[in-house]
Amino acid sequence: MFDGLKIINYPSNIFGTYKKYIMEAELSYNYKNKTLDPGENCEVKIQCYFNRKYRYIDTGIYIEPEYWDNSTNTVSKKHPQSRVIDLSLSNKLNDLRNYIYDYERTGTAVFDFSALDLYQRGYKDSIYFSKFILSELENNRTTIDVLTYKKYKSNAGILARLMPDKPVCLITTADVEILDKNLRASYAESTVSRFNVFVQEYIKKAIKKNLIRENPYIRAELNTNRGEGKKTFLTMTELDRIEKLKHLTDYQLIVRDRFLYSCYTGLRISDNLALTKDKITRTTAGLTVDLHTIKGYGADLIHPLALLFDGCAERIALKYIDSQGEYLFPRQKADIINQVLPVLMDMAEIKKAVTFHTARHTCASNMAEITQNPFLLMNIMGWKDIRIAMNYVHSSPEATRRQLEVYAGKWN
């Protein structure tokens, strides 16, 4: 009676026929004894067949029975919007077909009518994952501390950018794998891991609300290794090229200076963004920064800027210390900063994968090479374990010679 697509040799050996659109009016005379009033519009539905049973999926499209072509199960060309409606119906049919493919992508989740129920519920009450997170945040705002609320709200914004237009019920293993890949292109390994934990937390909430059938992270193949860009550091020569960049926009200029400041001080992006002017003291010996770090349990850092890399950090700070506002650098968003950095690297002709976390590796690597002093490195970087600093210190004849020259005439 109806044309359709037959699916065979499927991973779970499903034998199903996903029919073309069917109009409710056509069934009205023999289906539940339903009759139509003259001029009444009817909803076009998609008929699904599984295990000799039928199920109908709503489309939300209503037309008059006289505009329905029973021979082709499509909207009659007599309808003034026939092409538009047929295209919309075709898209809805493809959405359903793709949903079924995604549902059984792993070959273990068996498609059945409960899956159709989930699809139809998601189709009717479609809510994007990022909006679902924001909704849950608002519902539980009284039980969440202010800092966590702000952080989760920011994460929801990042998710909306990296996973746009994705309803909760349609999130698949492929989606979380792509999300993880996109995160690793812009953020450090530790940040990606925390973000994935955050996403899974709300996926589990969606499962409890029957919006998702299975946690897509269970079968996801995520790259748990650090990317090359996260281990990369910039040489002093490359930093000089970045400093000499010209014709930058105001926003690029701030990103450049903010990044270079962390290259000379080792500040993480969280501490860099939160650095206020009241943490900076003017002394006869120059500017000194005294701050308590944000990440982990935190650590107290003392940075005599005039002594770090021949005063490079201080020269940058002096450009902003007398500007308006409480923060040293004007406010910017971390994800936007990481989008601007590759552009700056191209302008400086630096062929390296660089994120803001590269600045921390740059400071540690260059300081270790110049000073060969793990205790100094540990204090500047805010590490609590000397073994971390030792990973950056590598012996070489040149480094040994420099260290001995420091103690020349002091052996007696």
Convert the pLDDT of each residue in 243-269 to its tens digit.
999 999 999 999 999 999 999 999 999
Q: In this predicted model, which residue has the larger pLDDT, 382 or 93?
A: 382
What CATH number did the domain enclosing 390 receive?
1.10.443.10
Select the highest-mean-pLDDT range: 5-9, 173-177, 229-233, 406-410. Answer: 173-177
Residues 218 and 319 in one domain: no
Whether 163 has a pLDDT exceeding 60, the answer reads yes
Residues 382 and 283 in one domain: yes
Domain membership of residue 301 (yes or no) is: yes
Reported as type and span, the H/E element at residue 118 is helix 113-124
Whether 105 has a pLDDT exceeding 60, the answer reads no
Q: Which amino acid is at 346?
A: D
Q: In this predicted model, which residue has the larger pLDDT, 268 or 55?
A: 268
Domain membership of residue 197 (yes or no) is: yes
Mean pLDDT of 18-22: 45
Instruction: Say what the pLDDT of residue 223 is.
Output: 65
Q: Which of 175, 192, 225 marks a domain boundary?
A: 225
What CATH number did the domain enclosing 188 receive?
1.10.150.130
Residues 271 and 386 in one domain: yes
Please spell the DSSP secondary structure of 238-266, one letter per residue: HHHHHHT--S--HHHHHHHHHHHHHHHH-
Whether 29 has a pLDDT exceeding 50, the answer reads no
239 token code pair: 């930093």
Compute the half-sphere exposure of residue 128: CA atoms within 13 Å on the CB side of its CA. 13
Please report, for residues 129, 175, 183, 358, the alpha-carbon distance to residue 222 in angstroms, rounded to integers and kept in the order given.
Answer: 20, 11, 11, 22
Domain membership of residue 331 (yes or no) is: yes
Task: List pLDDT tens digits, range 277-328.
Answer: 999 999 888 999 998 887 655 678 889 999 999 999 999 999 999 999 999 9
Q: Which of 206, 225, 244 marks a domain boundary?
A: 225
Domain membership of residue 270 (yes or no) is: yes
Whether 107 has a pLDDT exceeding 50, the answer reads no
* Lowest mean pLDDT across 98-112, 220-234, 335-349: 98-112
Residues 153 and 104 in one domain: no
Instruction: Say what the pLDDT of residue 350 is.
Output: 93
Q: Which amino acid is at 261?
A: Y
Mean pLDDT of 134-162: 85
pLDDT above 90: percentage of residues in the chain = 26
Domain membership of residue 371 (yes or no) is: yes
Query: The domain containing residue 370 runs over which residues?
Result: 231-406
What ranges make up the beta strands (E) of 293-397?
300-304
Q: Which of 178, 193, 225 marks a domain boundary?
A: 225
* Lowest mean pLDDT across 149-163, 221-235, 279-293, 385-399: 221-235
Residues 141 and 102 in one domain: no
Mean pLDDT of 228-238: 74
Please report, for residues 155, 239, 251, the alpha-carbon distance to residue 356 in angstroms, rounded to integers and kept in the order given.
Answer: 18, 14, 15
Contact between residue 84 and residue 61 where contact means Cβ atoms under 8 Å apart:
no
Confidence band, pLDDT 50/70/90 cuts, at residue 115: low
Task: List pLDDT tens digits, range 188-215.
Answer: 777 888 888 889 889 888 888 777 767 8
Q: What is the DSSP letter of 167?
A: B
The Cα 273–Cα 337 span in angstroms is 11
Q: In this predicted model, which residue has the larger pLDDT, 235 or 31?
A: 235
Instruction: Say what the pLDDT of residue 119 is.
Output: 63
Q: What is the domain count for the chain?
A: 3
Residues 35 and 112 in one domain: yes
Residues 319 and 355 in one domain: yes
Residues 194 and 243 in one domain: no
Confidence band, pLDDT 50/70/90 cuts, at residue 117: low
Domain membership of residue 411 (yes or no) is: no
Residues 259 and 273 in one domain: yes
Confidence band, pLDDT 50/70/90 cuts, at residue 385: confident
Q: In this predicted model, which residue has the larger pLDDT, 166 or 347?
A: 347
Rounded mean pLDDT of the chain?
A: 77
Select the highest-mean-pLDDT range: 61-65, 240-244, 364-368, 374-378. Answer: 240-244
Torsion angles phi and psi, residue 253, rounded to 5: -65, -40
Confidence band, pLDDT 50/70/90 cuts, at residue 276: very high
